[in-house]
């Protein structure tokens, strides 16, 4: 009951998973995952994910096997700009310490 003695509205609340999706956790899913898991990674509801998949508008390609949808984990990692393996991205190329100095070429 609310403070003014009206019944509380009925709410359908889904359980929340407070664990953050890290690159390692996404990689641990294997080669493919179900669309509900992919939806949670992208911050989408399950219903929205299925609607987007049916319209071919999900953030990454979705594989359909009969009535089942599967999402490649590599595509999720790529969409999130995460490396597909646990290696760190390469270091950026070295820059010159004296960027204003003109290169010198000695001529014979």
- Give the residue extent of every domain in the chain: 23-79
- 73, 29 Cβ separation under 8 angstroms: yes
pTM score above 0.75: no
DSSP assignment of the chain equals: --TTSPPPPP---PPP--S---HHHHHTT-SEEEHHHHHHHHT--HHHHHHHHHTT-SSS--EEETTEEEEEHHHHHHHTT--SSSSPPPPPPP--S-TTSPP-----
For 12-45, what is each residue's pLDDT tens digit?
Answer: 334 455 578 999 999 999 999 999 999 999 999 9
Residue that is written with structure tokens 């310490």 in the block: 97
Q: How confident is the model at residue 104 (pLDDT cuts 50, 70, 90)?
A: low
- 76, 26 Cβ separation under 8 angstroms: yes
């Amino acid at each position: 009951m609310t403070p003014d003695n009206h019944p509380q509205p009925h709410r359908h609340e889904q359980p929340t998973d407070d664990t953050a999706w890290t690159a390692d956790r996404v990689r641990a899913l294997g080669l493919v995952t179900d669309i509900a898991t992919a939806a949670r990674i992208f911050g989408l509801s399950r219903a929205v994910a299925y609607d987007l998949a049916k319209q071919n508008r999900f953030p990454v390609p979705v594989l359909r096997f009969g009535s089942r949808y599967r999402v490649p984990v590599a595509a999720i990692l790529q969409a999130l700009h995460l490396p597909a393996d646990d290696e760190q991205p390469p270091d950026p190329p070295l820059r010159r310490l004296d960027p204003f100095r003109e290169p010198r070429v000695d001529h014979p």
